[in-house]
Structure formats: C-alpha cells, structure tokens
Structure 1
Amino acid sequence: MSHEQSSQICNSNCFNPIKDIYSKYIFGANAMATTHDSLLLKFRTRDSLHGVTRLTVKALAQQLDVNETQVVHLALSKLASEILPSYEPDDGPLSERQIKAVRRDANDLLPIGETIREEVLFG
C-alpha cells in the first residue's frame, strides 16, 4: 500500500480531534436555513487576539474540511456560547423581606440537634 493510499484511508477512518469535535455541528449546519443577510469581513494583515489573516481562515477550512464561511460561523458560534448568557436575566438581588422569609423557612425546615459528622470539602 502506498503512502497516498494509507493517507486516504486514514483521512476517512482515523480520529481527528479537531474535525471530530465539530462534526455534528458541521454536518448538521449544511442543512440549516440561510438568510440573504450578509456581512463584509475584512481580514487582518497579521494574526492577533483581535483578528486573523485570510491565510489562517483558509488553513482552518482545510483542516476542518469545510468552506471559509463555515469556519467563520463556527468561530462566531463558539464565541457566542462562551460570552453570551444562556439563561434569562433574573430579577436582581433579593429584598430584605425575601431574605428574612428564606431564613425563616430554613430555620423551620433544617434539622435541629447534635452534629453527627462534619466533612471538609475544600481545605
């Protein structure tokens, strides 16, 4: 078997952590509905914390076996999941009245008596 043949077999059968991490997202995303909204993306002249070059996007696309647009969607999706809250904002801090009610309930519901055993979780 030639090196080229073994590479082709490995490309389709070997574990590739970068590809496999996003496989479900990538293959599921191909069927996602799109919109006619568009965005102009201007690339940086060098890679930094705040942007990347076109060459970097092309390298990612090749590594993940997707097109450059999908690379941008993957990156933005990952950033959104890391930064944006995934829950509804709450009503803010409890009022004094609410705190007193919680303490009253805790006093009524917590067991009373001698401590049988204590465990230290951190320390």
Structure 2
Amino acid sequence: MPLNAENKAGSFLFRLRSKDTPTGVSAETLDKLMQETGLSKTEVTHLALRNLANSYLPAYEPDDGVLTEAQYQHIREASKATDVPDDSFDEKLF
C-alpha cells in the first residue's frame, strides 16, 4: 500500500501556491514566516489554523437569546442586593 498523508489519522496533504493569493501562500511567504517566527512549517500551519479558528468559531455555546421578564425577576429575587435601594446604584445591569 503506498504511503499517503491522508492515511494517517488527522493528517492531510498541504500544497503551497505558486504565488500568494487571497486564500493561499507561496513557499517564499512560508519561508519568511518561519524566519520571522522561528517556527517550523508545521507549527506555522497550526498557528495559522488556530488564528483562523479563533476568528470564525465561537468559543462558547450560543445562548438562548434575550432574558425574559420572569428570568429578570428571578435574578432580582435571588440577588443579595435586593434590599439595597435603587438610588444606591450608579448603573443598572438590566
């Protein structure tokens, strides 16, 4: 069976562009990134993918949206600040 990068779990073949494009980089750019960062090709690729993931993928589960009035009331009732007069606060959270 021929050795293929796709046969390894979690690996894939990465092909550089012949010139830089909006969605790809050339070997020259990769070499410059390696020199500037002191990272290997693999580490530069991981860093680029991590930065892309941080930009596009949420770091938390999406919430259910705006709180209902009943939820606000429940928070007010559970709060230790319930007995503090409203004029003691500079700003309200909600």
TM-score range, shorter chain: 0.5 to 0.7
Secondary structure, aligned partner of 2:59: coil
1:1-123 alignment runs, 5 A limit: 36-90=9-63, 92-93=64-65, 94-102=67-75, 109=82, 111-112=84-85
Partners of 1:118 and 1:62 in 2: CA distance: 52
The alignment's TM-score, normalised by the length of structure 2, stands at 0.58
Partners of 1:62 and 1:72 in 2: CA distance: 14
State the structure with bigger RCO (CA 8 A, min sep 6), 1 or 2: 1
Q: Give unmatched runs, 5+ long, in structure 2.
A: 1-7
Q: Percent sequence identity over matched residues? A: 34
Q: Give the letter for the 1:41 counterpart.
A: F
Contact 2:16–2:24, Cα closer than 8 Å, also in 1: yes
Secondary structure, aligned partner of 1:43: coil
Contact 2:17–2:24, Cα closer than 8 Å, also in 1: yes
Q: Give unmatched runs, 5+ long, in structure 1.
A: 1-34
Q: Give the letter for the 1:55 counterpart.
A: E
- CA-based RMSD of the aligned residues comes to 3.3
* Change beyond 3 A, Cα 1:110–1:55: farther
How many residues were matched structurally? 82
Partners of 2:44 and 2:83 in 1: CA distance: 53
The alignment's TM-score, normalised by the length of structure 1, stands at 0.47
* Change beyond 3 A, Cα 1:66–1:105: closer
Partners of 1:37 and 1:79 in 2: CA distance: 18
